[in-house]
Amino acid sequence: MIPGKYRSVSGRATNNVNCGLHLVIQTSSLPEKNKVEFKLHKETPSFPGRLLQHDLERNYSSRQGDGRVISPSPRNKSSCISSTTNVTELCGLEMKTTTSSLSAFGDSSIQTPSKSRIRQGCHSAGPNVSGDHINLVSSSMPSFPILQRSSEEKILYSDRLTLERQKLTVCPIIDGEEHLRLLNFQHNFITRIQNISNLQRLIFLDLYDNQIEEISGLSTLRSLRVLLLGKNRIKKISNLENLKSLDVLDLHGNQISKIENVSHLCDLRVLNLARNLLSHVDNLNGLDSLTELNLRHNQITFVRDVDNLPCLQRLFLSFNNISTFESVCCLADSTSLSDITFDGNPIAQESWYKHTILQNMMQLRQLDMKRITEEERRMASVIAKKEEEKKRESQKQSLLKEKKRLTINNVARKWDLQQHRVTSIAANQDRKDSDSPSQDPGQVDGSTISAFPEETGSLDSALGNALQGLSVTDTHLVEVDGDTLSLYGSGALESLDRNWSVQTAGMVTTVSFTFIEFDEIVQVLPKLKIKFPNSLHLKFKETNLVMLQQFNALAQLRRIDQLTIDPQGNPVVSFTLWKYYVLFRLSHFSMQKINGTEVTQNDMIMAERLFGILAHVASSELPQYRLISILGDARKKQFRYLLETKGKKPGIVSEENNDSKRLVGENTNRATLNYTTRDFYNEKLEEIKEKKKFCKMYIEDLVKEATEINMKNEALQKLWPQMFIELVRDAVIEIRNKSSYMKLCLQQITDQK
């Protein structure tokens, strides 16, 4: 409650009660700060009730609890209260309790002090009476009265002078009182501080409730410790340069809008700036001894520099305009602060107010006049921890979001680059070159992919069941958000090889591809079919869909309900016929929506009308060997894929077979319309070229052989009639002489035997 230092002071004060009011000003050379000690008379009945105006102001806000001003007073009457206002109070009290009589101003009609004793404790009731015998005589200068006291008064109260409620409009010239230490001008109408420069030993100056507009005339009062200027009209803190030992400065109830010119007051312990026009708090450097700072009832929106006050213990910021903790966050850095009030600020209405303050200011003992319990502190720390966690989570989310954004940007850039390159190559009409640059990005991807599984692994574990696996690398991005699987960049297709949990895979109904060449997507479609059997909605954006025939590739999927082809990066969408072609080619899916618009029966009929003949021609007019080769390609492709992935699972294989059978059964006339990716097609063309070369040679040989035979045959045919005639003629000549020929024959037979 009351800091130790003050407790000890009050303790000492109680020891000296019998000596009436005694002001001891110790200009000790103790290493600690000089102290002003007020010792109160023990029997000061007026004390609790005697609250000055500004004390009231101070207290009404603390009515709800036992305000710290009120609380000490009944319990410990003699205790010394350390706030500025209390000091003022004390002074007022002291004035009253003095038993000495007060001499009225010369012939002025001010009441005589005879009643002074009776009036004890009723400070507010009527003009105050001073115990001194004072004569105010007109001085030689017409405007200033001259004050003189009788010598006996001087001896009795040699060091104090009270001129309370004297209706003074100017400071009187005080002569022969150079030893005065305490001077009180409360409740007058003084507009200017004058004529006190000779009182160089003055320690206590009270000008409360006057009409002073400017701080001035104090430059010689080097030993002044307490300066009370509350309830005046001061607009600016100034001219305090020489008051180096000032201990208490009360400027409450003025019109000050800025804290300034106080940095030299290194001994100042109490500064009261309540009820001024401050809009913010700063310039507090150098106030090394300040323990209490009252800033109630201003319009303060933010507070700075408080962490530069090493001794500050109490700070009153009630009834200001503070709305965020950030605007007072320097308070958290103050190690000495133990008591703070924020009531009457917007910040105090916030739900997070209490625990935020408690969490950030561990050193605090009182908040808004209430002692902080351990329980409260625990609660605050729990809440704060939660909040922190939440913040961290959201930060993580936003970090991920940002990372995602960056990655997508990166992928987009890469895509653009690639597109540009591809088109420029196409412009060069150099097919062969297109292979090597298209491999380049692939290699780049390859290096980053190696880092890919680790990252996703850690993320997966971190996010747990949140179903928000987000894997980010520089070149591609894979994201599962609810029922949507989003793939950005060609590298993302690799993720289809990953082991997706059954739950995730089952939940995904929408697959979106962005910045991926459609031809690359085609290659993973069989995988997609197996890994995400429930995917019904495909989205394509920036996938380089340029030809109608590319849609043929989608026919191999299990089922598609919706198809969304973003016009961005998919020139095919600009065609008039693309929707009809999709409907025609994928008619076996009986799709519900294309690019968000419902498919009507009319659309289906139109599609059939436009392309039905194509399918008919393709199926009925294609020679059988071609049919086999085209359908065979598709089958072979599937077969090859199955071989590549897993021959282990016969279940899937058979299912696959069923699938292809069903597919064929459902639209045989369309199955011939398939799509082979450009690379694959080029490969095939190369293959065909090889075969052709061989066939050409083979046929050439055959034909040459055939023509040669033909030529020989023709030559033979030409010769044959002549040859025949010659042969016949020879035979005839031989058998012309029958008997000799017979002889010859017989001879031959006998010879043989």
Partner 1 sequence: MATERAGTWLPEAGKLELGSCCGPRMLSPERLALTDYEYLAQRHVLTYMEDAVCQLLENKEDISQYGIARFFTEYFNSVCQGTHVLFREFSFIQATPHNRASFLRAFWRCFRTVGKNGDLLTMKEYHCLLQLLCPDFPLELTQKAARIVLMDDAMDCLMSFSDFLFAFQIQFYYSEFLESVAAIYQDLLSGRNPNTVIVPTSSSGQHRQRPALGEASMLEGVEASLFYQCLENLCDRHKYSCPPPALVKEVLSNVQRLTFYGFLVALSKHHGINQALGALPDKGDLMHDPAMDEELERLVVRSRLHRTSRQHRAQEPGTFGFHRRDKLEALERVPSASAPTPSPYRWEPRE
Question: Which residues of this chain interact with partner 1, rule CB under 8 A?
Answer: 546-549, 571-572, 574-577, 579, 587, 590, 600-606, 608-618, 621-626, 628-630, 632, 672-673, 675-676, 681, 685, 688, 691-692, 694-696, 698-700, 703-704, 707, 710-711
Token couple for 30: 């103790």
Find all residues with CB under 8 Å of 169, minimum gap 6, and list them.
Answer: 188, 189, 190, 191
**Cβ closest to partner 1, residue 216 vs residue 629:** 629
CA–CA gap between residue 265 and residue 519 (Å, rounded): 80
Kindly state the smallest distance separating residue 559's Cβ from partner 1, in Å: 12
Do 195 and 172 meet the contact criterion of CB atoms below 8 Å apart?
Answer: yes
- 36 or 548: CB nearest partner 1: 548
Shortest distance, CB of residue 550 to partner 1, whole angstroms? 9
Give whichever of 488 and 581 is closer to partner 1, judged by the CB atom.
581
d(CA 642, CA 626): 24
In whole angstroms, give the CA distance from residue 164 to residue 168.
9
- CB of 59 or CB of 523, closer to partner 1: 523
What 3-state class would DSSP assign to 239? coil
CB 523 within 8 A of CB 554: no
Q: Which amino acid is at 176?
A: G
DSSP for 319-344, written as a single string = SS----SGGGGGGGG-SS--EEE-TT
Min. distance of Cβ 656 from partner 1 in angstroms? 20
Q: Of 171 and 553, which has the nearer Cβ to partner 1?
A: 553
d(CA 582, CA 594): 9
In the complex, minimum distance from the CB of residue 575 to partner 1, in angstroms, rounded to a whole number = 5
Strand 226-228 with 302-303, pairing: unpaired
Question: Which is closer to partner 1, CB of 316 or CB of 581?
Answer: 581
CB of 696 to partner 1, least distance (A): 5
By C-beta, is 217 or 612 nearer to partner 1? 612
Calpha distance 196→171 (Å, rounded): 8
Residue type, 201: R
Query: How would DSSP label each residue in 362-384?
Result: TT--EETTEEPPHHHHHHHHHHH
Nearer of residues 386 and 609 to partner 1, judged by Cβ: 609
Shortest CB 588 distance to partner 1, Å: 9
Tell me whether residue 241 or residue 714 sits nearer to partner 1 (CB atom): 714
Q: Tell me the CA end-to-end span of the chain in Å, nearest whole number.
A: 161
Nearest in space to 671 (alpha carbons), one of 606, 588, 591, 578 = 588
DSSP letter, residue 479: E
Sign of CA dihedral 497, 503, 504, 510: positive
Report the C-alpha gap between 585 and 404 in whole angstroms.
35
Instruction: Decide whether 606 or 652 has the Cβ nearer to partner 1.
Output: 606
Looking at the Cβ atoms of 108 and 568, the one nearer to partner 1 is 568
Q: CA 405, CA 419: separation in Å to the nearest integer?
A: 21
Q: Least Å distance between CB 544 and partner 1?
A: 14
Q: Supply the minimum distance, in Å, between the C-beta of residue 562 and partner 1.
A: 15
The CB-of-587 to partner 1 minimum distance in angstroms stands at: 7
Provide the minimum distance between the beta carbon of 643 and partner 1 in the complex, in angstroms, as a whole number.
Answer: 17
Q: Given the complex with partner 1, which of 137 and 606 has the nearer CB atom?
A: 606
Work out how close the CB of 700 gets to partner 1 at its nearest, in angstroms, rounded to a whole number. Answer: 8
Instruction: Give every CB contact of residue 308 below 8 A, 6+ residues apart in sequence.
Output: 284, 285
Secondary element (H or E) of residue 226: strand 226-228
Closer residue to partner 1, CB minimum distance, 82 or 667: 667
Positive or negative: CA dihedral 219, 220, 223, 227: negative
Closest separation between CB of residue 579 and partner 1, Å? 8
CB 490 within 8 A of CB 476: yes
Least spacing, CB of residue 540 vs partner 1, in Å? 16
For residue 434, give both structure tokens: 């297109």
Buried b (16+ CB within 10 A) or exposed e, 481-503: eebbbbbbbbbbbbbbeeebeee
Let me know: does 38 contact 87? Beta carbons within 8 Å: yes
Phi, psi (rounded to 5 degrees) for 278: -70, 135
Residues in Cβ contact with 421 at an 8 Å cutoff, skipping those fewer than 6 apart: 437
Q: How many CA atoms lie within 13 A of 132 on its CB side?
A: 27
Least distance CB 673 / partner 1 (angstroms): 7
671 residue type, one letter: A
CB of 618 to partner 1, least distance (A): 7
> Residue 372 or residue 673: which is nearer to partner 1 going by CB?
673
**Would you say 157 or 584 has its CB closer to partner 1?**
584
Pick from 44, 33, 28, 129: nearest CA to 81: 44
Beta pairing partners, 134: 149
